[in-house]
Chains A and B, each alone.
Chain A
Amino acid sequence: MALIEISKVTKLYNSGVEIIEALRGIDISIETGEFITIMGQSGSGKSTLLSVLGGMNHPTAGDVKMAGIAIYQLPGEKLADFRAQNLGFVFQSFHLISYLTAIENVMLPLAIIQMSSAAKKTAARTALERVGLGNKLDRLPNQLSGGEQERVAIARAIVNNPHILLADEPTGNLDSKTSEEVMALFRELNCAGQTVVMVTHNPENGKYADRTINLKDGRVG
């Protein structure tokens, strides 16, 4: 059984003037341990697809199953719990919390988990060491470079050992050298068994992935 199964997913937006079809009957299957990049032009629907995969955007039609669970049929706040336990997010603009230090930012997903403070700290430190920032635990985001902020965001996404790591244009705000370092880090995580689904517009990033899904006008091209 595939880790992620998307069947006939359609997403419509009502702009008030017209109905926009962001996704048109998408079928995708992703296996455990795969590194997938989703590519396409602006407006192709790749970010919408990632948000649907991330359990944050109810599809207008179709099913999204993760490890056999139809996530959009989960009752009440169970979908939030599912995100907390199974998914890790890396955002394009990092979205680190400005008033929390690097280690506190990484500990954020653990704030809602029953765990001792010491265990939380150890997990966060381990995650930061994995991304090469073991010596900058107490820095605030504005005391870190763009690449370092991206690494903190990645550490935050993997601190709770998620089944799936979702990344939206993670190199979009980085220079080419730092982009390569970040992509190498994603590859390294994937080699350690982490399933990665990444939206990117940079064809160069495709070489790190096992497979690339091309989207065009809301359809798999």
Chain B
Amino acid sequence: MKLHTISINNLKRRKAKMAFLTIGLTVGIATIVTLVTLTSSMSSDIERKMDEFGANILITPQNNGLSMNYGGISLGGVTFDQRDILEVDLAKIRTIANNKNISAVAPKVLGGIQIGGHNVLLVGVNFDNELKIKQWWKIFGEAPTRGNELLLGSDASKVLNVGSGDSVTIKNEVFKVVGVLEQTGSQDDALVFVNLLKAQKILGKEGKITLAEVAALCSGCPIGDMVTQIAEKLPDAKVAAIQQVVEGRLKALDQFKRFSYAMAGVVIFIGSLIVFVTMMGSVNERTTEIGVFRAIGFRKSHIMRIILLEAAMVSLLAGFLGYVVGMGGAKLALPFMAESKNALLIWNSTVAFGSVGLALALGVLASLYPALHASKMDPIESLRAL
């Protein structure tokens, strides 16, 4: 016979009340687990989408140019004091405070050339990084791996009338077309892609780049801060975020997060009330019993331990059940809530331990006053008979 024997036996006797308390807490914890898991799963889904979407920070040379647009029609521009970005400077991007949020940096050098009598825009890229950023690219053939290999946009392929396996000549040098892009509906369709080093050589821009795209999206990324940080590292470059996409999606997720936290707060409050009322009722029903305990020499701390042990056992069970039910709820709700139907459910050990820990803390804290009340009961008043 130990104090926990009393707690366990009392729980067994008051099955209905303890079941009510367990269910109440389980529902609360399950709601929180569902919301937290949904939020993190949706964040992860959006991050994945963002990665697929591509770059969201654009680095271009600083200039004192004036764009000449009228009614949405570009008439070119007047540019003076054009500065180049040095390729070596790009390494500085990796030294910013939020460098962990950078998933890829894709430098490009652009320049006009002639192929078979046609004017085309040659783009030198680092194919490894480019393919990381442009995950939607579908290539008929393969991506270039050598310096004298080309990748053509679909329109460029049609205009030049060349396809995979054909050869073209650029500035007296023969290049083999190893791949053609499937139609993307973007500017990429009209471009000719070649290895960055080769392009720099062809265009006479060794060691220089025209622009760089940075993929740095995640739900919690401070894109604005990252833009500032990169701008500080590259004072001669113009750094801009593709704001609309970032802000729009993150704002929606942020709103859902806030809603989740508010819901979690309400649920915690209601859960605490359920525990408090049930435990207080239980203590009041056990007045005589507590009087007996006190009369036979139980200390106030012994009484508190009995009550808190009961609360802790129920809370632990509710925490475990709440996690299981909550994850089940999240699994059912995720396809309706996430942007993609194949969004992955995030199984997080922090949520598992957190839900059990939260239930335990909530149960014990809400039972503190009832336990204190029980320990302060006057044995004479409790027993009445004496």
Q: Which residue of B lies closest to A109 (CB)?
A: B296
Whether A83 contacts B9 by the Cβ 8 Å rule is no
Whether A81 contacts B5 by the Cβ 8 Å rule is no
**Given A51-B380, A92-B385 in contact, is the A80-B1 Cβ separation under 8 Å?**
no
Query: Closest CB-CB distance, B293 to chain A, in whole Å?
Result: 8
* Chain A window 77-111, contacts with chain B (Cβ cutoff 8 Å), 1 for yes, 0 for no: 10011111101110111010111100010011111
Is the C-beta of A112 less than 8 angstroms from some C-beta in chain B?
yes
Is the C-beta of A156 less than 8 angstroms from some C-beta in chain B?
yes
Is the C-beta of A73 less than 8 angstroms from some C-beta in chain B?
no
Whether B9 contacts A104 by the Cβ 8 Å rule is yes
Contact of A97 among B289, B295, B299, B301 (CB under 8 A): B289
Q: Which residue of B lies closest to A86 (CB)?
A: B297
Residues in A with CB closer than 8 Å to B380 are 51, 56-57
* Chain B window 270-302, contacts with chain A (Cβ cutoff 8 Å), 1 for yes, 0 for no: 000000000000000000110111111111111
Whether B386 contacts A56 by the Cβ 8 Å rule is yes
Residues in A with CB closer than 8 Å to B383 are 91, 95
Query: In the complex, A196→B10 CA distance in Å?
Result: 32
Query: In the complex, A83→B291 CA distance in Å?
Result: 13
| Number of B positions contacting A (CB below 8 A) | 28
Contact of B297 among A51, A85, A124 (CB under 8 A): A85
Residues in A with CB closer than 8 Å to B2 are 111, 117
Query: In the complex, A39→B256 CA distance in Å?
Result: 74
Query: Closest CB-CB distance, B371 to chain A, in whole Å?
Result: 16
Is the C-beta of B12 less than 8 angstroms from some C-beta in chain A?
yes
Query: In the complex, A87→B297 CA distance in Å?
Result: 9
Interface residues in B295-341 (C-beta closer than 8 Å to A): 295-302
Query: In the complex, A85→B296 CA distance in Å?
Result: 9
Is the C-beta of A23 less than 8 angstroms from some C-beta in chain B?
no
* Chain A window 158-191, contacts with chain B (Cβ cutoff 8 Å), 1 for yes, 0 for no: 0000000000110000000000000000000000
**Given A77-B301, A168-B385 in contact, is the A100-B9 Cβ separation under 8 Å?**
yes
* Chain A window 137-174, contacts with chain B (Cβ cutoff 8 Å), 1 for yes, 0 for no: 00000000000000000001000000000001100000
Q: Which residue of A lies closest to B379 (CB)?
A: A56
Residues in A with CB closer than 8 Å to B118 are none
Query: In the complex, A99→B17 CA distance in Å?
Result: 15
Contact of B302 among A83, A89, A100, A112 (CB under 8 A): A112
Is the C-beta of B13 less than 8 angstroms from some C-beta in chain A?
yes
**Given A50-B386, A95-B383, A99-B13 in contact, is the A112-B5 Cβ separation under 8 Å?**
no
Residues in B with CB closer than 8 Å to A168 are 385-386
Residues in A with CB closer than 8 Å to B6 are 97, 100, 108, 111
Whether A89 contacts B296 by the Cβ 8 Å rule is yes
Is the C-beta of A125 less than 8 angstroms from some C-beta in chain B?
no
| Number of A positions contacting B (CB below 8 A) | 37
Q: Which residue of B lies closest to A77 (CB)?
A: B299
Is the C-beta of B3 less than 8 angstroms from some C-beta in chain A?
yes
Whether A81 contacts B299 by the Cβ 8 Å rule is yes
Whether A84 contacts B292 by the Cβ 8 Å rule is no
Query: In the complex, A88→B2 CA distance in Å?
Result: 19
Query: Closest CB-CB distance, A47 to chain B, in whole Å?
Result: 6
Interface residues in A188-209 (C-beta closer than 8 Å to B): none
Whether B9 contacts A156 by the Cβ 8 Å rule is no
Whether B385 contacts A99 by the Cβ 8 Å rule is no
Whether A95 contacts B297 by the Cβ 8 Å rule is no
Whether A156 contacts B296 by the Cβ 8 Å rule is yes
Q: Which residue of B lies closest to A87 (CB)?
A: B297
Is the C-beta of A54 less than 8 angstroms from some C-beta in chain B?
yes
Query: In the complex, A98→B12 CA distance in Å?
Result: 12
Q: Which residue of B lies closest to A101 (CB)?
A: B9
Task: Name which of B289, B291, B386 has the most chain A CB atoms within 10 A of its CB.
Answer: B386
Contact of A112 among B3, B10, B13, B291 (CB under 8 A): B3
Contact of A111 among B1, B10, B289, B300 (CB under 8 A): B1
Q: Which residue of A lies closest to B3 (CB)?
A: A111
Contact of A110 among B1, B9, B12, B289 (CB under 8 A): B1
Query: Closest CB-CB distance, A101 to chain B, in whole Å?
Result: 9
Whether A83 contacts B296 by the Cβ 8 Å rule is yes
Residues in B with CB closer than 8 Å to A24 are none
Query: Closest CB-CB distance, A48 to chain B, in whole Å?
Result: 8
Query: In the complex, A74→B383 CA distance in Å?
Result: 23
Query: Closest CB-CB distance, B378 to chain A, in whole Å?
Result: 8
Query: Closest CB-CB distance, A133 to chain B, in whole Å?
Result: 17
Whether A112 contacts B385 by the Cβ 8 Å rule is no
Residues in B with CB closer than 8 Å to A120 are 1
Contact of A51 among B12, B13, B300, B386 (CB under 8 A): B386
Residues in A with CB closer than 8 Å to B385 are 47, 91-93, 95, 168-169
Which are the 6 A-B pairs with shortest beta-carbon distances?
A84-B297, A107-B1, A99-B13, A83-B297, A77-B299, A51-B386
- Give residues in B with beta carbon < 8 Å to A: 1-3, 5-6, 9-10, 12-13, 288-289, 291-302, 379-380, 383, 385-386
Given contacts A56-B295, A89-B295, 20 further A-B contacts (CB under 8 A): A56-B386, A77-B300, A77-B301, A80-B298, A81-B297, A83-B297, A89-B296, A91-B295, A97-B6, A97-B289, A97-B292, A99-B9, A100-B9, A104-B9, A108-B1, A108-B296, A111-B298, A111-B302, A112-B3, A112-B298
Pick 15 A–B contacts, CB within 8 A, sort by A: A51-B380, A51-B386, A54-B295, A56-B295, A56-B380, A77-B300, A80-B297, A80-B298, A85-B297, A91-B385, A93-B385, A95-B383, A95-B385, A97-B6, A108-B1
